Amino acid sequence: MPNFQIQLDGFLRNNASNSSPSYAREDKFFDLVSRLIIPKNVRIIKTSDYWCSRETSDGCLSFSESQILMADEDHLGLKGSEIFGSNFVTSKIFNEILNE
């Protein structure tokens, strides 16, 4: 998951943030994982694929109007969980996992 801490801090202080989330931590993680031998029955899922678009920050915010979507940089809030869950359960990979 991208790091939303700067966005969240700005929102909590003044209800505004024009900062994009950082993908550095997620990119480092997936770079490391790409060097590992992962068993075929293990799936590593890039959560930002179901939360964000790297082309635009739309849908990749830590807050939405008056609702906090991210409780902190690693944990979804209640509304954020609803959004992420809805996106994930309708995904191709979710259906593939269920049908294995």
Alpha-carbon distance of 38 to 74, in angstroms, equals 23
Pick from 24, 7, 4, 26: which is nearest to 16 by CA?
7
Structure tokens at 88: 């994930």
Total-model pTM: 0.61
Tokens 């959560």 belong to which residue? 47
Task: Say what the pLDDT of residue 30 is.
Answer: 92
- Alpha-carbon distance of 34 to 54, in angstroms, equals 20
Q: What is the pLDDT of residues 75-87, one digit of tens each?
A: 788 888 888 888 8
What integer pLDDT is reported at residue 45 of this predicted model? 86
Domain ranges in the chain are 5-98
| DSSP 8-class letter at 62 | S
pLDDT at 40: 86
